Amino acid sequence: MAATAPVINIRSFQLSPSLPKTPTDYLQTNIPFFDARFNGLPKGSLTELSGPSSTGKTSLIHAALAECTQRQEYCAYIDGSNTFSPTCAHASQVDLAKLIWVRCTNNLEAAFQAADLLTHSGGLRLIVMDIANIPQSKLNHIPVSWWHRFRLAVQDTPACFVLLSASPQSKSSSQFSLLQKRQATLWQGEGPGRVFAGLQFESTQRKPPHRAAIWEAKAV
């Protein structure tokens, strides 16, 4: 990769110098059916959530970000295609004052520089890298070694690194990989006057054991 992308000055953020170890090895999402099935998102691991748009990736990540930031923990969102909505995140109870938002405008080099810096900075509970809307033709040029680098960066730490993608990208580097699928549209009432109430999603584990959870995201 050419060395032309902008670099973040992480020293401009007042992050926690270190995160305490907790009794659990999982980060709870506060989505009951998801947490009951998978225990949450594993800490010290690279997790990949893959699937087409409107399959629950954003709802799941907003829930996890809300859970972390409401506990006064810092998180980061590396926005590959400028699709992150602060308005929607705030409506999902994400404390934006505790979130570092990196807009990359389809610049993969900038996204990877940001991810590399943030995963090695410490002081972050959840780091999200969203490349779900970047064309596959660009993603094909990503060396597999980068995903392994991110995996090693959070290994044996209380941090989570979550990759959002339209189709699986991290290959063997992800310890926890879920395929996302939209199951149903939820409505309140009947007939022409019914009101949209939310969506139902299915999260299926790609690697053994092949568990699945069906959960709902309510309209806000």
What tens digit of pLDDT does each residue of 151-193 get?
999 999 999 999 999 999 999 999 999 999 999 999 999 888 8
pLDDT for 10 equals 46
Asked whether the predicted pLDDT for residue 98 surpasses 60, the reply is yes
Average pLDDT, the chain: 90
pLDDT for 208 equals 78
Confidence band of 7 (pLDDT split at 50, 70, 90): very low
Confidence band of 6 (pLDDT split at 50, 70, 90): very low
Task: Using the CB atoms, write b or e for 1-23: b if 16+ within 10 Å.
Answer: eeeeeeebebeeeebeeebeeee
Confidence band of 210 (pLDDT split at 50, 70, 90): confident
Tens-digit pLDDT profile for residues 106-117: 999 999 999 999
Domain definitions of the chain by residue range: 32-180
Asked whether the predicted pLDDT for residue 5 surpasses 70, the reply is no
pLDDT for 191 equals 86
pLDDT for 11 equals 46
CATH number 3.40.50.300 is the correct assignment for the domain at 32-180: yes
Confidence band of 19 (pLDDT split at 50, 70, 90): low
